[in-house]
Structures are given as structure tokens and as C-alpha cells.
Amino acid sequence: MMTLFRRAVLPLGLAAALFVLPSAVPAGQRSYAATHGAAPFVTEHLIPGSDLDLAQVDLTLPAAKVVALTIDDGPDANDPQILDILRAHGAKATFFYIGAKIPEHHGIARLVAASGNEVGSHTQTHPMTTDLKPTEREWNLAQAEKALASVGVQAAWFRPPYGDVDGALAALARHHGMATVLWTADSQDWKDTGPDVIRHRIVERLAPGAVVLMHSTKAATVAALPAILEEGERRGLRFVTMSEWEAAMRQSVTPELALLHPAPRRH
Ligand SMILES: [Zn+2]
């Protein structure tokens, strides 16, 4: 069996980690966010492998009125300007960095890491991870971990490139100390559309608990950011880091919803 073969070639500790961790997304199957554009607010699709059951989160509570902006593909020359915009609005974001780009933008990466925003891992080389052998996956995450450490970051979050993730990759990320997160709102800014289109796509899905996907590599995204933050403020939403988002979601778990939506059995 393919999965057994994969486990057999991995180091013992890693194989043990894969064995005990739940595989919410079956191995070899691309994520819901990758195939549908965005994930629903459901644990297995948004934060695969997490013990936080999003079905038990009461999104009407004041504590849940948070949005996580996630900004992928940096470090990038646009990052200092993004920091200024975030600061002007009292907002925070999470930057998912590509390890291979860190040496070239070392100063910027350090600046972002020290800014009070969060920095996560977006792998070393931005591959389609389900195409990789287990040893290549391990290399990619480990190299990114080293690159991030060179700017003082120990990532708590992992964003798979293209949302391409399976249960084994989410388990491997967890072995590296990272939770995996997809997104509920896709700016589709990589299509090189203008700021108005980007703003519209995000604002449509700007709601409590939203996780927004953007890219720091696009000037139009930077141009759209102030209006997105202003609209969020109008709706009483706070823009927080991924770790703050998770804390807010855990704080908003309610016993009533837990009874209505009991946690699914782990096999
Ligand atoms: Zn990316």
C-alpha cells in the first residue's frame, strides 16, 4: 500500500508522528480550497488536522469578530509599505514566506518578523507538494525552517502553495511545529486584476472568522489594502495574526454548539 510504503521510508520519529495524527484530508487528494477556490469554515478544510472544531465556534460572539489577513509569497520589496498600511489601521497580518527568497530580502524579512505581525512558512521552493516524494517534502519544510530561523522566526503556521495539501503533509507540518491553514476568501490577485476587483472579491467574504488570501508580490494588492481594512473596520472586525485568530476561535467555542455539533470520531 502506498501510504505504508511512504511511512516505511521515513525516519522513525516522523513515521510515529504520521501514525498518531489524524489525517483529515486523505493522502493524494488535493484540498477543498485548492479545488474550489476557498475553504468553508470547517476544520478539515480550513485547518486540516487541527483539534479545534470550528463547528463549535459561535461566530456571533464579540470575541469572534476577527479576520486573519494572510499575505503569501514574500519576503518582497512591497512588505515595508504593507507594514505601514497595517500600522496606520491598527491591523495585523500573517506573512507566509518562501524560504528561498529570504536571503535576497533578508533585511525586509527581519523588519516584518520584528513588527508584531506573524511570519509563517510557505515552503522553501513553492512546489506542488503532492507531486513530491516524502523525502523531498521533508527537505522543503526543513530548508524553509532554517531560512526562517535566520531572521529569528520559528513558524507556528504553514500555508501549502496552491492550497495543495494532503493528510500526510499536514502531519509533516505539525511534526515541524506548524499548524496548516488554507483560506475562506481568495483575492485571486495573482490574476493581475486591478485594486477594485481585488477589494470586491475580499469584501464579499469579509466576515467573522474569515481567513483572507493575498500576495505581497502584487502592487494592486497593496493599493487595495487600505479600502479592505476600512470596510472591515466599518463592520466591526479586527484584523489579527493567525495565532490571535486561533485564540479568538478557541475563546468562542460554546458548550451549546458543542452539543449540537459533537466532535467527529477519530479513527
Ligand atoms: Zn504562494
pLDDT in tens, 197-248: 999 999 999 999 999 999 999 999 999 999 999 999 999 999 999 999 999 9
Q: Are 27 and 2 in contact (CB under 8 A)?
A: yes
Looking at residue 34, its pLDDT comes to 85
Distance 116 CA to ligand 1 centre (A): 22
* φ, ψ for residue 250, nearest 5 deg: -65, -35
Give me ligand 1 centre to Cα 50, in Å.
22
Q: What is the whole-number distance in angstroms between the Cα of residue 266 and the centre of ligand 1?
A: 31
* Locus of grid cell 470586491: 200
Q: Which is catalytic among the residues 45, 53, 72, 164?
A: 72
Taking the centre of ligand 1 as the mean of its atom positions, its distance from the CA of residue 202, in whole angstroms, is: 17
pTM given for the model: 0.86
DSSP annotation of 54 reads G
Reply yes or no on whether 105 is catalytic: no
Please write the tens of the pLDDT for every residue from 157-196: 999 999 999 999 999 999 999 999 999 998 888 887 889 9
- What contacts 135, CB < 8 A, 6 or more positions away? 9
Cα 14 to middle of ligand 1, angstroms? 26
Catalytic residue among 105, 126, 175, 215: 215
The CATH number of the domain covering residues in 13-23+33-50+57-260? 3.20.20.370
Q: CA 111 from chain center: how many Å? A: 20
Q: How many CA atoms are closer than 13 Å to the CA of 166, on its beta-carbon side?
A: 16
What is the distance in A from the centroid of ligand 1 to the CA of 38?
A: 14
The predicted model gives 31-40 an average pLDDT of 88
72 noted as active-site residue: yes
Domain boundaries, the chain: 13-23+33-50+57-260
